[in-house]
Amino acid sequence: MPKRETSTVESAAAGGVQATEHSMKGKSRHEPCEPCDALPACLERQLRYNLCRFEPRSQDLFHALALGVKEQLLDDWRSTRSRDAEGDKRQVAYLSLEFLMGRALGNALLNLDLTQDARHALLPFAVTLETLAQEEHDAGLGNGGLGRLAACFLDSCASMDIAATGYGIRYEYGMFAQKIVDGFQIERPDRWLREGNPWEVRLHAYSVLVPFFGHTESYVDREGRRHIQWVGTQDVRAVPHDMPVPGYRNGRINTLRLWKAEATDDFDLEEFNQGDYAEAVARKNLAEQITMVLYPNDASENGKELRLRQQYFLCSASLQDMLRRHIARFGDDLSQFAKHNVVQLNDTHPAIAVPELMRLLIDVHCLEWDQAWAITSATMAYTNHTLLPEALECWSVRMLGHMLPRILEIIFEINARYLDLVAHHWPGDADMLAKMSIIEEGSEPRVRMAYLAIVGSFSVNGVAALHTELLTRGLFKDFHALWADKFNNKTNGVTPRRWLMACNPQLASLIDRRLGSDWREDLNRLSSLGAFTSDTDFIKAWREVKTANKAALAALVEHECGVTFDTQMLFDVQVKRIHEYKRQLMNVLHVIHLYQRVLKGDTQGMVPRCVLIGGKAAPGYATAKLIIKLAGNVAHMVNSDPHVTPWLRFAFLPNYNVSAMEVIAPGTDLSEQISTAGKEASGTGNMKFMMNGALTMGTLDGANIEILEAVGEDNFFLFGLNADEVARLKEDYRPKDIIAASPALCSVLELIRSGHFSLQEPGLFDPLVDAIESPWDQWMTAADFDAFVSAQARAAALYATPDEWTVRSIRNTAASGRFSSDATIARYRDDIWRGA
Binding residues vs ligand PLP (CB under 6 A) = 144-145, 148, 576-577, 657-658, 661, 683-685, 688
- Smallest distance from ligand PLP to CB 735, Å: 25
Number of other CB atoms surrounding residue 607 within 10 Å: 18
Residue of 688, 808, 811, 818 marked catalytic: 688
Tell me the closest approach of the beta carbon of residue 658 to ligand PLP, in angstroms: 5
Q: Which amino acid does the sequence have at 18?
A: Q
Inter-residue contact 107 to 136 (CB < 8 Å): no
The Cα 550–Cα 396 span in angstroms is: 50
CB 688, min distance to ligand PLP, A: 6
Count Cβ atoms below 10 Å from residue 332 Cβ, excluding itself: 8
**Coil vs helix vs strand at 441:** coil
In the complex, minimum distance from the CB of residue 463 to ligand PLP, in angstroms, rounded to a whole number:
10
The full DSSP string for 671-728 is EEE-PPTTS-S--SHHHHHHHTTPEEEE-S-TTHHHHHHHH-GGGSEE-S--HHHHHH
Q: Cβ-closest residue to ligand PLP?
A: 685
Q: Name the minimum Å distance from CB 775 to ligand PLP.
A: 28
Q: Which is nearer to ligand PLP, 295 or 833 (by Cβ)?
A: 295
Instruction: Please state the closest distance from residue 661 (CB atom) to ligand PLP, in A.
Output: 4
- Quick one: 246 or 685, whose CB is closer to ligand PLP? 685
Residue 688 catalytic?
A: yes
Contact 65, 121 (CB under 8 A): yes
Catalytic residue list contains 730: no
- 775 vs 691: CA distance, rounded Å: 38
Closest separation between CB of residue 690 and ligand PLP, Å? 12
Mutual orientation of helices 58-86 and 105-112 as an angle, nearest 10°? 50
Per the DSSP assignment, residues forming a β-bridge with 188 are 177
Backbone angles phi, psi at 254, to 5 degrees: -85, 180
CA distance 553 to 172: 30
Dist CA 454 CA 342 (whole Å): 15
> Cβ of residue 680: shortest distance to ligand PLP, in angstroms?
7
Phi, psi for residue 321 in degrees, rounded to 5: -65, -45
Q: CB of 672: closest distance to ligand PLP in angstroms?
A: 9
818 DSSP 8-state letter? G
Q: Are 658 and 507 in contact (CB under 8 A)?
A: no
Neighbours of 522 (CB within 10 A): 13
537 by DSSP, 3-state: which? helix
Among candidate residues 252, 385, 590, 629, the one labeled active-site is 385
Q: Based on CB atoms, which residue is closest to ligand PLP, 325 or 579? A: 579
For 470, phi then psi, to 5°, come to -65, -35
Q: Pick between residue 457 and residue 584 the one whose CB is nearest to ligand PLP.
A: 584
Q: How far is the CB of 575 from ligand PLP (least distance, A)?
A: 7
CA atoms of 777 and 521, how far apart (whole Å): 46
Please give the single-letter amino acid code of residue 797: A
576 is catalytic: yes
Q: Which of 684, 696, 781, 813 is catalytic?
A: 684
DSSP summary character for residue 138: P
Which secondary structure element, helix H or strand E, spans residue 271, and what is its range?
A: helix 269-273
Instruction: Tell me if 415 sits within 8 A of 354, measured CB to CB.
Output: no
Shortest approach of ligand PLP to residue 723 CB, angstroms? 17
Q: Which is nearer to ligand PLP, 7 or 675 (CB)?
A: 675
**CA–CA separation, 818 vs 824, rounded Å?**
8
The answer to whether 95 touches 314, Cβ cutoff 8 Å, is: yes
Does residue 799 contact residue 570 with C-beta atoms inside 8 Å? yes
The active-site residue out of 70, 577, 583, 590 is 577
Active site annotation includes 582: yes
**Residue 685's closest CA among 499, 497, 462, 464?**
499
Between 493 and 735, CB nearer to ligand PLP: 493
Q: For residues 150 and 140, is the Cβ–Cβ distance under 8 A?
A: no
Set 582, 593, 811, 829: catalytic member: 582
The 609-614 sheet, strands edge to edge = 648-653, 609-614, 570-575, 670-673, 695-698, 717-718
Q: Report the candidate in 600, 647, 603, 642 with the shortest Cα–Cα distance to residue 747.
A: 600
Q: Which residue's CB is nearer to ligand PLP, number 446 or number 688? A: 688
Minimum distance from CB of 686 to ligand PLP (Å)? 6
* Three-state secondary structure call for residue 575: strand
Helix, strand, coil percentages (3-state) for the chain, rounded to 5, are 50, 15, 35
Query: For residue 341, which of 366, 320, 322 has the smallest C-alpha distance?
Result: 322
Exposure string over 156-166, b if 16+ CB within 10 A, otherwise e:
bbbbbbbbbbb
Question: Would you say 411 or 624 has its CB closer to ligand PLP?
Answer: 624
Q: How far is the CB of 657 from ligand PLP (least distance, A)?
A: 5
Measured between alpha carbons, how far is residue 651 from residues 184, 607, 645, 655 in Å? 14, 17, 12, 13
Quick one: DSSP state of residue 288?
G
Catalytic residues: 385, 576-577, 582, 684, 688
